[in-house]
Amino acid sequence: MNTSTANAPARSAPAITRPAPDECQPYFHGYIAKVPTSGAGQALVDQIADVEATFGPLDALAAATIHPPFQWTIGEVMGHLLDGERVFGYRAARIAAGDQTSLPSFDEHLMVNGSDYRNGDCQALLREWIAVRESSLLMFARLTDEQLGRRGNANGNPITARALAWIMAGHVGHHLPIVGRRLGLA
């Protein structure tokens, strides 16, 4: 598949320091631990090629496959990655701006099912994910250390914009190896 990354300009990795443990709930520490030592900014850049390499070659049949015991098709996982990218990025934008509104949780299963990713075009979802990730990179690149360190509330819990950048990278870092095993790539 020839998507925007093949001819895209070089992306620069925003510098985003590792969050302290108190910048998010312990549930997210596992995602943060999946981010390579190069940091979240570099992972956010590198994952564009990784996600494209994993999902780009898939035809409609492969994208529609469920591998028990998993309940989602590969295309639905791509949709879930897209949902996560949007939600984490939105939360980071609001919190970095100093918004103290308590941001609601989201039900990942409701989002996947309600968006009908099972019957969607995985390649279109991949292109959409790349666009959202590139937008997130631009946002994180312009945020100051002060903005990244601002605390807000998501899902009833305190969190910083910085932690959300690391969680975003860790979320993809969590799912890609699973998809790779399902596809026989790992």
For residue 122, give the amino acid letter.
C
Chain position carrying tokens 């984490």: 88
pLDDT band per the 50, 70, 90 thresholds, residue 88: very high
The residue-averaged pLDDT of 94-119 equals 95
Q: What is the pLDDT of residue 8?
A: 56
Q: Which of 180, 142, 172, 163 is nearest to 48 (CA)?
A: 172
Q: Which residues of 32-65 are buried (b: 16+ CB within 10 A; e: fewer)?
A: bebbeeebbbbbbbbbbeebbebbbebeeeebbe
Q: What is the pLDDT of residue 82?
A: 98
Mean pLDDT for the chain?
94
Beta carbons within 8 Å of 50's beta carbon, 6+ residues apart: 172, 176
Cα distance between residue 16 and residue 64, in whole Å: 36
Q: Three-state SS for 17? A: coil
